[in-house]
């Protein structure tokens, strides 16, 4: 083997790793050679930790030695990991990153490119589409890119779990890239179908694929539908798990809730979500340095995060696909004797996942409104101007614009900070939408089968990822035949968790006083509401502006004119967790002439779920104006005075009621409707609302 390039590459590998006797891993050198010598396009599918970064570091060095321009690394990573930076320095590579947060470094980087001393540049995929960034930063530094590296290339495929519209731009970019500029696309997780799709889209590409096996990972599944039990289990088990780890949740709200709970139990846990731009790097460092026991994170913690001694990965809810799961759980146990991957299955997992997926889809009516606004305008419009014609929040509007912009023939384009219509007609890709929906459904089914635990868990995952070397691992709970980590929690912790959860809903405090003049028809004497007429403290599921359930409530009220079944389930769960005592015997609802059957229909479905009867007890005898238009308490009471009447035929005596309404704001509706019910004999009335529009205290 007197190949001088191989000898040089091996010397670089040894210098880069700091290990003088290290050899190339299987296919590592072949990949380097393909890029740096044959200038090929290469798709490398290898597990994290295989050494993909070493491949492009060494290839960059070899290419640079022969006069090539710098490497451009397109990656959703915030930065190179510290160990990668150290390896790059040892190999003699100068690296830089350009993004919106380091404007003060742009000039230096530009100069370094000009002086030809910068070897590798990191840029995020979404930056590539920002016109100002492109003109001011990317162009000056990209005049002689010698190697293009595309990280997390599975995001290219909409057959994958992580399809990202921004990556479609990269595909189109590759189409006009001269064949003599080598391209390395890398991913750690992809099944056959995704690999084939990515390869097809990149074009002219050779694929290098290795096994995924990871022997020190011990997998276990636990079914626990009660969220309080899952929290309690976490608190009991966490201290006994090795090292530091990650607790994955499906939503940001869950990540924060888990964090709040575990911190209340004196455990070192921090939350990590995509919304926390600034702290993310800091939290990653804390986790890397074992300064925290666990990070409760959404899938935002993932791409590129590499901690070889991660002790455990717990999923608080079931992730939406085996590939997702493998990618996340696979972060544990890369370089430790024993690490745990434990999946908790809750009842609500599928609903949350589906809700998140559908809320990311483009709404045809919104698209029509956006395009119409842009077509009518003589000049490109700012998002603020578009908002005037489209009833969308800024975040949703920008999301919709970004999706439209990523279309192969985009109907909109950016013009600095403004947006313009293009000549392309817009056709929603209904086929793609249907395919994505079917795919999601199929993947959820595959994940549900994993939880069934009928065969070795590791083998199951490997087969899902089409790993030819899949076989029984002999370490997982199925292979061992008993739980690896206890599945129970203590009764005290459970009670504590229940109390914790109960505090999470919005409490509707009963009103104690009213204005006798405003309520003339009731012929009242005292300003204090008699205790036998008062309602009990109630609950609202969420706040109107909340992203999760709040979004469903808004959709139900404003668009669908029917509340989603998921809301029925969620309110039923809330009532069960809340456990009002005495427990309600009947469900009734606040009538409305304006919204008709909306609330009674919901209340009846809630009653079915709670397995108690539903009864229409109140009638709206007079139309009222929306309560939210009433500026003060007096007006609010006046507006409701004489509006409700009890339907006489119902025997209410000594019965306990859940009184359901869609929104609660001033609480006067509940107070007055409840007082009527109680005056007619009800033993107790518990107000329940879907959302509170009152300001958050």
Partner 1 sequence: MTPDPDENKLAILLLCSSFGAHDSDARPLSVAEFNKLEGWLRAANLRPRDLLDPAARDTFLSETTTPEHAERIRRLSERGFMMSHALERWGQRGIWAVTRAEERYPARIRRRLAQQAAPVFYGVGDPELLARPALAVAGSRDADEHALAYACALGGRAADEELAVVTGGARGVDRAAIQGCLERAGAACAVLVAGLYSAAVAAHNREMIADGRLALISPFHPEAGFTAGNAMARNRYVYALADWSVIVRSELAGGTWSGGTELLKHGWSSLFVRASEDEGNRALLERGALPIPAELDEIDRLRTLFERTSSARAAPVRGHRSKPPASGEQLTLDS
Specify the 3-state DSSP secondary structure of 233.
helix
Q: Does 680 bind Zn ion (CB under 5 A)?
A: no
Look at residue 377 and give the partner it binds from partner 1, Zn ion, none, a contact being a CB closer than 5 to 8 Å depending on partner kind. Answer: partner 1
**Strand residues in 524-649 grouped as ranges (E):** 538-543, 586-589, 618-620, 644-646
Q: Does 344 bind Zn ion (CB under 5 A)?
A: no
Closest CB to Zn ion among 181 and 479? 479
Q: Let me know: does 123 contact 143? Beta carbons within 8 Å.
A: no
For residue 343, what is the enclosing H or E element? Answer: strand 339-345
How far from the centroid of its chain's Cα atoms is residue 330's Cα? 19
Minimum distance between the CB of residue 202 and Zn ion, rounded to whole angstroms?
A: 35
Look at residue 173 and give the partner it binds from Zn ion, partner 1, none, a contact being a CB closer than 5 to 8 Å depending on partner kind. Answer: partner 1
Look at residue 85 and give the partner it binds from partner 1, Zn ion, none, a contact being a CB closer than 5 to 8 Å depending on partner kind. Answer: none
Minimum distance between the CB of residue 313 and Zn ion, rounded to whole angstroms?
A: 16
Minimum distance between the CB of residue 456 and Zn ion, rounded to whole angstroms?
A: 3
Beta bridge partners of 415: 418
Closest CB to Zn ion among 292 and 479? 479
Total chain residues near Zn ion (CB under 5 A): 5
Closest CB to Zn ion among 68 and 220? 220
**Burial annotation 453-481 (CB, 10 A radius, 16+ → b, else e):** beebbbbbbbbbbebeebeebebbbbbee
For residue 627, what is the enclosing H or E element? Answer: none
Structure tokens at 214: 């990871």
Minimum distance between the CB of residue 507 and Zn ion, rounded to whole angstroms?
A: 46
Of 612, 621, 617, 543, which Cα lies nearest the Cα of 582? 612
DSSP string, 427-459: ---HHHHHHHHHHHHHHHHHHHHHHHT-S-HHH
Minimum distance between the CB of residue 57 and partner 1, rounded to whole angstroms?
A: 19
Look at residue 519 and give the partner it binds from partner 1, Zn ion, none, a contact being a CB closer than 5 to 8 Å depending on partner kind. Answer: none
Q: Taking CB under 5 A as the rule, which mask of x and - marks residues 405-444 in contact with Zn ion?
A: ----------------------------------------
Of 672, 670, 697, which Cα lies nearest the Cα of 686? 670
Encode 31-58 in three state secondary structure: HHHHHHCCCCEEEEECCCCCCHHHHHHH
Closest CB to partner 1 among 74 and 575? 74
Closest CB to partner 1 among 379 and 631? 379
Closest CB to Zn ion among 17 and 216? 216
Q: Does 342 bind Zn ion (CB under 5 A)?
A: no
Q: What residues from 472 to 531 belong to the interface with Zn ion (CB under 5 A)?
A: 473, 476, 479
Distance CA 635, CA 640 (A): 9
Distance CA 669, CA 646 (A): 14
Look at residue 27 and give the partner it binds from partner 1, Zn ion, none, a contact being a CB closer than 5 to 8 Å depending on partner kind. Answer: none
Q: Environment class of residue 402 by beta-carbon count within 10 Å: exposed (0-12), middle (13-18) or buried (19+)?
A: middle
Look at residue 300 and give the partner it binds from Zn ion, partner 1, none, a contact being a CB closer than 5 to 8 Å depending on partner kind. Answer: none
Structure tokens at 237: 């088990």
| Terminal C-alpha separation, the chain | 73
Q: Is the peptide bond before 582 cis (omega within 30 degrees of 0)?
A: yes
Contacts with partner 1 by CB under 8 A lie at 66-69, 72, 128, 131, 134-136, 138-140, 142-146, 148, 169, 172-181, 200-204, 375, 377-380, 405, 409-410, 413, 415, 420-425
Q: Does 22 bind Zn ion (CB under 5 A)?
A: no
For residue 271, what is the enclosing H or E element? Answer: strand 269-272
Look at residue 440 and give the partner it binds from Zn ion, partner 1, none, a contact being a CB closer than 5 to 8 Å depending on partner kind. Answer: none
Look at residue 594 and give the partner it binds from partner 1, Zn ion, none, a contact being a CB closer than 5 to 8 Å depending on partner kind. Answer: none
Look at residue 37 and give the partner it binds from partner 1, Zn ion, none, a contact being a CB closer than 5 to 8 Å depending on partner kind. Answer: none
Q: For residue 243, how many other CB atoms are within 10 A of its CB? A: 18
Q: Does 456 bind Zn ion (CB under 5 A)?
A: yes
For residue 75, what is the enclosing H or E element? Answer: none
Q: For residue 21, how many other CB atoms are within 10 A of its CB? A: 6
Look at residue 433 and give the partner it binds from Zn ion, partner 1, none, a contact being a CB closer than 5 to 8 Å depending on partner kind. Answer: none
Closest CB to partner 1 among 175 and 291? 175
Minimum distance between the CB of residue 332 and partner 1, rounded to whole angstroms?
A: 37
Binding segment for Zn ion (CB under 5 A), chosen from 203-211, 283-291, 466-474, 548-556, is 466-474
Look at residue 476 and give the partner it binds from partner 1, Zn ion, none, a contact being a CB closer than 5 to 8 Å depending on partner kind. Answer: Zn ion
Of 294, 312, 313, 315, which Cα lies nearest the Cα of 251? 315
Helices and strands counted in the chain (H then E): 26, 22
Minimum distance between the CB of residue 88 and partner 1, rounded to whole angstroms?
A: 20
Q: Does 400 bind Zn ion (CB under 5 A)?
A: no
Site residues, Zn ion (CB under 5 A): 456, 458, 473, 476, 479
């Amino acid at each position: 083997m007197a190949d001088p390039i191989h000898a040089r590459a091996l010397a670089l590998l040894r210098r880069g790793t700091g290990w003088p006797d290290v050899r190339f891993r299987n296919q590592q050198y072949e990949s380097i050679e393909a890029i740096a010598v044959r200038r090929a396009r290469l798709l490398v599918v290898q597990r994290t930790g295989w050494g993909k970064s070493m491949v492009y570091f060494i290839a960059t060095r070899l290419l640079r030695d022969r006069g090539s321009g710098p490497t451009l690394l397109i990656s959703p990573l915030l930065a190179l990991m510290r160990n990668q930076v150290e390896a790059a320095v040892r190999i003699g590579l100068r690296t830089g990153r350009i993004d919106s947060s380091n404007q003060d470094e742009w000039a230096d980087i530009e100069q370094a490119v000009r002086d030809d001393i910068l070897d590798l540049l990191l840029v995020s995929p979404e930056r590539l589409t920002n016109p100002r960034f492109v003109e001011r930063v990317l162009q000056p530094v990209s005049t002689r890119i010698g190697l293009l590296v595309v990280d997390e290339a599975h995001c290219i495929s909409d057959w994958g779990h992580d399809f990202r519209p921004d990556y479609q731009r990269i595909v189109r970019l590759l189409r006009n890239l001269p064949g003599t500029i080598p391209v390395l696309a890398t991913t750690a997780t992809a099944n056959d179908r995704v690999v084939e799709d990515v390869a097809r889209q990149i074009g002219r590409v050779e694929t290098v694929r290795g096994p995924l096996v990871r022997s020190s990972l011990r997998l276990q599944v636990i079914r626990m539908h009660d969220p309080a039990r899952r929290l309690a289990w976490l608190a009991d088990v966490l201290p006994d798990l090795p090292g530091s780890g990650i607790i994955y949740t499906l939503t940001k709200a869950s990540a924060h809730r888990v964090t709040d709970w575990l911190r209340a139990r004196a455990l070192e846990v921090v939350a990590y979500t995509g919304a926390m731009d600034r702290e993310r790097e800091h939290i990653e460092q804390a986790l890397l340095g074992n300064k925290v026991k666990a990070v409760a994170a959404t899938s935002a913690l993932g791409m590129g995060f590499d901690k070889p001694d991660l002790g455990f990965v717990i999923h608080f809810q079931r992730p939406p696909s085996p590939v997702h799961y493998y990618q996340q759980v696979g972060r544990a146990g890369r370089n430790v004797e024993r690490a745990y991957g434990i999946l908790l299955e809750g009842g609500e997992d599928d609903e949350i996942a589906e809700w998140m997926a559908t809320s990311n889809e483009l709404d045809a009516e919104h698209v029509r409104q956006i395009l119409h606004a842009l077509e009518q305008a003589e000049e490109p419009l700012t998002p603020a101007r578009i908002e005037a014609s489209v009833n969308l929040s800024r975040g949703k509007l920008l999301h919709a614009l970004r999706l439209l912009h990523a279309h192969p023939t985009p109907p909109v384009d950016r013009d600095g900070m403004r947006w313009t219509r293009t000549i392309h007609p817009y056709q929603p890709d209904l086929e793609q939408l249907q395919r994505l929906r079917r795919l999601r459904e199929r993947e959820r089914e595959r994940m549900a089968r994993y939880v069934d635990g009928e065969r070795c868990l590791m083998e199951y995952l490997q087969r899902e990822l089409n790993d030819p070397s899949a076989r029984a691992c002999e370490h997982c709970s199925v292979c061992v035949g008993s739980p690896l980590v206890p599945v129970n929690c203590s009764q005290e912790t459970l009670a504590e968790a229940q109390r914790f959860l109960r505090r999470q809903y919005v409490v509707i405090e009963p009103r104690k006083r009213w204005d006798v003049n405003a309520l003339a028809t009731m012929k009242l004497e005292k300003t204090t509401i008699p205790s036998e007429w008062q309602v009990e403290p109630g609950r609202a599921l969420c706040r109107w502006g909340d992203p999760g359930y709040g979004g469903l409530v808004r959709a139900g009220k404003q668009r669908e004119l029917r509340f989603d079944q998921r809301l029925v389930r969620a309110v039923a769960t809330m009532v069960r967790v809340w456990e009002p005592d005495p427990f309600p015997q009947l469900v009734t609802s606040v009538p409305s002439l304006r919204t008709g059957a909306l609330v009674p229909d919901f209340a009846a479905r809630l009653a079915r779920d709670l397995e108690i009867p539903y009864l229409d007890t109140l009638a709206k005898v007079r139309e009222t104006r929306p309560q939210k238009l009433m500026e003060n308490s007096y007006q609010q009471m006046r507006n409701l005075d004489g509006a409700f009447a009890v339907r006489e035929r119902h025997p209410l005596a000594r019965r306990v009621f859940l009184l359901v309404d869609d929104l609660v704001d001033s609480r006067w509706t509940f107070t007055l409707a409840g007082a009527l019910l109680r005056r007619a004999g009800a033993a107790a009335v518990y107000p329940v609302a879907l959302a509170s529009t009152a300001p958050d205290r």
